[in-house]
Amino acid sequence: MMRKILEYILKRMWFLFPDELYLKIIYYLKMGRKLNLDEPKTMNEKLQWLKLHNRKPEFTSMVDKISVKEYVAEKIGPQYVAPLLGVWDKVEDIDFESLPQQFVLKANHSGDNKGVVICPDKSALDVKKAEKNLKKSLKLDIYRVYREWPYKNVRKRFFAEEYLGKDLVDYKFYCFDGRADSVLVCIDRQIGDPKFYFFDKEWNLKRYNQRGKSAPADFTLPKPDGIDEMFELASKLSEGLPFARIDFYNVNGRIYFGEITFYPSGGFDPKRLPEADLHFGSMIDLSKVKA
């Protein structure tokens, strides 16, 4: 009962709580233990610390799914960026007639696949339903819910980009100040049965989460072409960042950037195994931020 009361208060009166107090409360509610900000050791703890102490203006443009395209193009090259087909301030302004037969619509401020419309065939698209889906994303405020401050000043917009195909596999690289340590491979998301497996640079399965822990001893996935290049690109994009998750897609050997995430799961991830939480936490060097 007390948990539900606290959750209700946080949801309705979030603006009354300073960031640190808010994070301590929600961390306890989601993780079942106190948040240690004085001597953070786990990844989840250090991500909360970084929210409070590592606030650079450029982070706002790096989480904006439109402006980050320019950053990535300058850093690793425009060939890795899915082309923009249009940008609009309001859902009502989206010009569906100008879009090709296949495209993807996204909200620039959202996460966790919210505010995304995948259109493999425009003739079969339910425009009203698509608009409704996009409008729902306007209610999502990642700063308010998780205190991910880079989102606080993102101007909410909508954009269309090139359709990359169906059955896409996500490659989410866990990077530490210019070094991509491992990759979380996400499969079967589009059929509603997502599976997540960690692999290191040598393509060894790492049992960092529940899915990996329960996998058979000989389990693996086919090593994708271009994985070494993706590790290199992720490392380059994460230079100067204590931690960043850099996402890519690999479409028939062609690599496309996905997004930059500073705080996976908002820094509230109970599915990561405790030993993995400590392992990743040990690689996040806060001393450079403190200096």
Question: Phi, psi at residue 209, to the nearest 5°?
Answer: -135, 180
H helix or E strand, kind and range, residue 164 = none
Same domain, 139 and 202: no
Domain boundary among 134, 163, 192: 163
Domain extent for 64 = 36-75+167-291
Residue 191 forms part of a structural domain? yes
Structure confidence at residue 190 (pLDDT): 65
Same domain, 212 and 178: yes
Buried b or exposed e, range 16-46, using 16+ CB within 10 angstroms: ebeeeebbbbbbeebbeeebebeebebbbbb
Query: What is the number of domains present in the chain?
Result: 2
Domain boundary among 114, 129, 163: 163
Same domain, 141 and 202: no
What is the domain-level CATH number for residue 121? Answer: 3.30.1490
Q: Can you give the pTM of this predicted structure?
A: 0.94
14, 60, 121, 148, 153 from 143: Cα distances, Å: 10, 11, 34, 5, 9
Structure confidence at residue 224 (pLDDT): 92
Same domain, 89 and 146: yes
The per-residue DSSP string of 85-105 comes to EEEESSGGG--GGGS-SSEEE
What is the domain-level CATH number for residue 200? Answer: 3.30.470
Structure confidence at residue 131 (pLDDT): 94
Structure confidence at residue 43 (pLDDT): 98
Same domain, 55 and 148: no
Same domain, 289 and 158: no
Same domain, 281 and 225: yes
Same domain, 125 and 236: no
Q: Which residues of the chain have pLDDT under 50?
A: none
Same domain, 215 and 122: no
Residue 116 forms part of a structural domain? yes
Domain boundary among 132, 163, 194: 163
Torsion of Cα atoms, 31 then 36 then 41 then 42, to 10° = 10
